[in-house]
Amino acid sequence: MPDYRRCWTPGGTYFFTVALWRRHGNDLLVRHVDALREAVRAVKARHPFVIHGWVVLPDHLHCVLELPAEDADFALRWRLIKMTFSKRIASGESLSSSRTRRKERGIWQRRYWEHRIRDEADLARHLDYLHYNPVKHGHVERVAEWPYSSFHRYVRQGILPRDWAGEATPR
């Protein structure tokens, strides 16, 4: 089997979508957002990366991460973030026989979506996408209303105005 890690770009910047195993009606990520933040901080301390953007929704998250110049192993980071988060919250979720055999928690989807950012325009598109995602999913009417987003950091730094993306289409 080929080693796909050779295709990964050391120092690359990547957009990720990471989702819960059972998404619909699940608010686990916002209910335990502090545990998720702690897991990310702990992994980042041991395996550095730069967070360019992040949004946590009830059942999935999106982020743009940049790896160190000599490092391409984003899979390690995601495995550790998922594992650390899972250990920080109480068990009790229902498990499939496959997950039981593998001694897995029934929290995360095994896979995630990953896209290597190609240029500044691609980065801007993905940051806009993740910041607007809570509006897209109907959680809020304005981007600024969603608390679990790097959008607020961008506003504090003067990069985006508080009213960025304006009003949502009425529901």
Asked if residue 112 is part of any domain, the answer here is yes
Give the H or E element holding residue 64: strand 60-66
In DSSP notation, 110-124 reads S--EEEE--SHHHHH
**pLDDT tens per residue, range 71-126:** 999 999 999 999 999 999 877 656 566 655 656 666 899 899 999 999 999 999 99
**Hey, what are 43's tokens?**
């992994």
Predicted local distance difference test score (pLDDT) of residue 70: 94
- We report the CATH number of the domain holding residue 86 as 3.30.70.1290
Pairing state between β 60-66 and 13-19: antiparallel
Quick check: is 56 in a domain? Answer: yes
User: The domain containing residue 50 runs over which residues?
Assistant: 8-118
**Residue 27, SS3?**
coil
112 classed as catalytic: no
In a domain, 157, yes or no: no
| 132 occurs within a structural domain | no
The one-letter code for the residue type at 84 is T
CB 134 within 8 A of CB 125: no
pTM over 0.75: yes
State the pLDDT at residue 171: 44
**Total structural domains in the chain?**
1
Q: Which of 14, 132, 148, 154 is catalytic?
A: 148
Residue 76 inside a domain? The answer is yes
According to DSSP, the residues that pair with 66 across neighbouring strands are 13, 50
The tens digit of pLDDT for each residue in 17-41 reads: 999 988 877 999 999 999 999 999 9
Q: Is position 154 within any domain?
A: no
Is residue 155 in a domain?
no
What's the count of helices (H) and strands (E) in the chain, helices before strands? 6, 4
